[in-house]
Amino acid sequence: MAGDRLNEANVLVFSNPGITAEQRTTDALPFSDVPVGLSGKFRVRVGAAVPEGAYEVRVSGRHGLSNPRVFLVTSAVNQVVSAVSHDPEVPTELPLGQFVNASCTAEQRDWFRFELSEAADVRIRLLAERVDSRMIGQLKLFDSDGRSLAVARGSDGFDPTIRMAKLPAGKYSVMVHDFLYRGGNEYPYQLVVAVGSEEAVVGADVFSPEIVGEEVAGRLPGNLTPSAVTLGSEEVGLLNAAEPGEIQQVELPSRNSWWFPSDQSAQVFQFGAKKGEQISVGVISDRAGQPSDAKLFVQRIEPQQDAEPKYHAVVQADDSFQLGSEPLSLLTKDPVALWTASHDADYRVLVHDMDVGQMLSKRQSYQLKIGKPEPRFKLVAFAAFPNKDAKQYRGFGSKLYRGGAEAIHVIAARLDGWVGPIRVALEGLPPGVTATEVVIAANQHEAQITMEASEDAQTADFTAKVVGSGDDGKMTVVATPVTQIWGRGAGRDFVQSRLSADLSFHVSDRDLAPITIRIGDAKVVQVKKKETLAIPVTITRREGGSEPCVLRARNLPPGVKIADVTVAKDKNDGELKVTVSDTTPLGTYSLWLQVETKLKVKPNVQGLERAQAYRKHLQTLHDDPAQAAQLEAIKSAIVAADKKVEAAKAEAKEQQLTVYIPSPNLTIQVVDP
């Protein structure tokens, strides 16, 4: 891992409890009995019961909890290559079935060589984006005479793989590079050459998005969908996709997997329906990680005596939804249609794949679901980046100060006609951390829920679960967690995100937040249409929090206005004026304030105190006549300790930062005058 806050990192937090780590230590400092922990250095143990697969790890320590990174657990041998050859004449040896770990070098090509003793089916696989790398991988395979045999290039969400059937015995070279020729520690990759059938390939099932559920998240920009992520109640194996006939007769309800035709022709599915019957038709393919772009058409069939039937257009669908924005835009190319049968008749669904490209995958599959609509909602949640400029979003961690606040952003997708408010709450919070339930109103798709730490909260790494329920309590949904892994830059103009194992946070008991915000009395506030209501705001100021605070309302419902409020320097009280127009729909709404201010903070006062205490201890020894025999060693230790004190002073030096703090949530209920 790399970062600017990894000093005093002493814990690794894994997404599987069977994976543990112990911090490495070195000998105690001179004239001290306490071993010194090596910051950021650990011995990792993987339990025998841990299945092969992809897992997440975070670093925890003095400066909080880092964002997660993916790593691979496999029974295959792993080797780290620190210096990969860039010379095609002297390539790096690549043992069959072993994972090589390396990083791209800017403006360079990496060369590897493997040897086959006999003809075999070969799979050459590059893992880059799927292990949180910025790399867009490109693979090229050459024979011993330098002739190019195959090329594969990755893209956003896809890593390249070369498959060769019955490759003759001999020596072969593999060229690897980032498609944009970038490099550095943000561009790691893993490379494996495996021999045998598809099922026998080492790590073949580690990342394959072939078993999926009803992923509402769809394709996230730069998303790397882990396997077996199910947002629905069932799993469907796309590897078991069938070849449909020219006209496939289906009985409702129908939910099966199919291959898109290799000639890009339409597939036809025919079924009967009764007048007035509501029917939902949907395709899952892009959401399953397939590089496809499906479109569907529904037609009513009118038989004709001694002639071809007439086909009456009922509905057509393309991309089904686009929700959110920076840093997470939920979008999918999968079509979904909801319609009502106008006649007792036979109907047909035509499914097309509009993406005819062959670069990323030779052939795509999909799931087709036809049946009665199932009104429901799905939730996606991610830690809200504390900045007013969405373009600044990037991968980041958590450090919840005592008296401080952090927030989780929630996006709701309403499916098959679901309407109504959604109540969102947090579960799994440790003692001293609280969050007020919020409401996503019937005409909204997003909300933000704020966590607050009390002034006596204890240090904890914890995982929060976002749970949404319908207003009648009959439907309960756990949100799918998402993490941002890279911000804009390196030739990419979007925030890269992916599904995550959980939403994890860190409470720090070593720091007290310079300010704490309170809005009203934390109760639901009733406000009438065409009314303006005043709500008090209170700011508790502590050391470093004396500057003016600008409060900006966020997540406002239609027709509700709240002007920005500035609480002057050293003042503690302000007032929000909530104005509701006569066009605001009746209902309950949750909003929050983004508080912009400047804080003065000292990042690690305790580190300086420890360094100074050790230096004082050495000085006491220096001045003790009984230690005369060790005087020279003590003087040498004092010189080293003085350097540590100066380094600690630099780290603890007061900084002034512009921050954006989420307020507690304010829930209002709009009622008739």
Instruction: Select from 163, 195, 227 the last residue of a domain.
Output: 195
Host domain of residue 332: 211-373
Using alpha carbons, select from 127, 129, 157, 499 the residue that is nearest to residue 333.
157
The reply to whether 298 and 257 lie within a common domain is: yes
Instruction: Select from 341, 373, 405 the last residue of a domain.
Output: 373
- Cα–Cα distance, 215 to 227 (Å, whole number): 11
Binned at pLDDT 50, 70 and 90, residue 377 comes out as: very high
Mean pLDDT for the stretch of residues 662-673: 94
Instruction: Work out the end-to-end distance of the chain between its first and last CA atoms, rounded to an integer number of angstroms.
Output: 58
207 vs 343, residue with greater confidence: 343
The reply to whether 172 and 117 lie within a common domain is: yes
Binned at pLDDT 50, 70 and 90, residue 220 comes out as: very low
**pLDDT number for residue 78:** 83
State the greatest distance between any 2 C-alpha atoms of the chain, in Å, as a whole number. Answer: 118
**pLDDT number for residue 504:** 96
> Phi and psi of 154, rounded to 5°?
-85, 180
Give me the CATH number covering residue 227. 2.60.120.380
The reply to whether 137 and 263 lie within a common domain is: no
**pLDDT number for residue 580:** 96
The reply to whether 155 and 259 lie within a common domain is: no
- Domain assignment of residue 402, yes or no: yes
Binned at pLDDT 50, 70 and 90, residue 213 comes out as: very low
Q: Inform me whether the pLDDT recorded for 288 exceeds 80.
A: no
Query: Residues 574, 580, 587, 324: what is their CA dihedral angle, to the nearest 10 degrees?
Result: -80
* 3-state SS class at 6: coil
Give me the CATH number covering residue 459. 2.60.40.10
Mean pLDDT for the stretch of residues 412-426: 93
The reply to whether 448 and 321 lie within a common domain is: no
Q: Do 458 and 432 touch, CB atoms closer than 8 A? A: yes
> Among 121-125, 147-151, 264-268, 444-448, where is mean pLDDT lowest?
264-268
Binned at pLDDT 50, 70 and 90, residue 1 comes out as: low
Residue 473, Ramachandran bin (φ over 0: left; ψ between -120 and 50: alpha; else beta): left
479-509 pLDDT per residue, tens: 999 998 898 888 888 888 888 999 999 999 9
- Cα–Cα distance, 346 to 344 (Å, whole number): 7
576-586 pLDDT per residue, tens: 999 999 999 99
- Domain assignment of residue 669, yes or no: no
* 3-state SS class at 288: helix
- Cα–Cα distance, 248 to 257 (Å, whole number): 12
- Domain assignment of residue 425, yes or no: yes
223-251 pLDDT per residue, tens: 333 322 233 333 445 556 777 778 999 99
Residue reference for tokens 């498609």: 179
The reply to whether 341 and 369 lie within a common domain is: yes
**pLDDT number for residue 333:** 86
- Domain assignment of residue 365, yes or no: yes
Q: Which residues pair with 294 in a beta bridge?
A: 353
Q: How far is CA 325 from the centre of its chain?
A: 14
- Domain assignment of residue 150, yes or no: yes
The reply to whether 369 and 230 lie within a common domain is: yes
- Domain assignment of residue 200, yes or no: no
Q: What average pLDDT does the chain have?
A: 88
Give the global pTM: 0.88
313-367 pLDDT per residue, tens: 999 999 876 777 777 777 788 999 999 999 999 999 999 998 765 545 467 889 9
**pLDDT number for residue 214:** 43
The reply to whether 404 and 432 lie within a common domain is: yes
- Domain assignment of residue 333, yes or no: yes
Share of the chain above pLDDT 90, in %: 68
The reply to whether 183 and 249 lie within a common domain is: no
The reply to whether 224 and 341 lie within a common domain is: yes
Instruction: Select from 339, 373, 407 the last residue of a domain.
Output: 373
- Domain assignment of residue 557, yes or no: no
Mean pLDDT for the stretch of residues 658-669: 96
The reply to whether 241 and 281 lie within a common domain is: yes
66-101 pLDDT per residue, tens: 999 998 888 888 888 878 999 999 999 999 999 999
Share of the chain above pLDDT 70, in %: 92
The reply to whether 101 and 44 lie within a common domain is: no
What would the two tokens of residue 171 be? Answer: 């020596």
**pLDDT number for residue 287:** 79
521-553 pLDDT per residue, tens: 888 999 999 999 999 999 999 999 999 999 999
- Cα–Cα distance, 598 to 579 (Å, whole number): 29
Number of structural domains found in the chain:
5
**pLDDT number for residue 348:** 96
23-66 pLDDT per residue, tens: 998 878 899 888 888 877 899 999 999 998 889 999 999 999 99
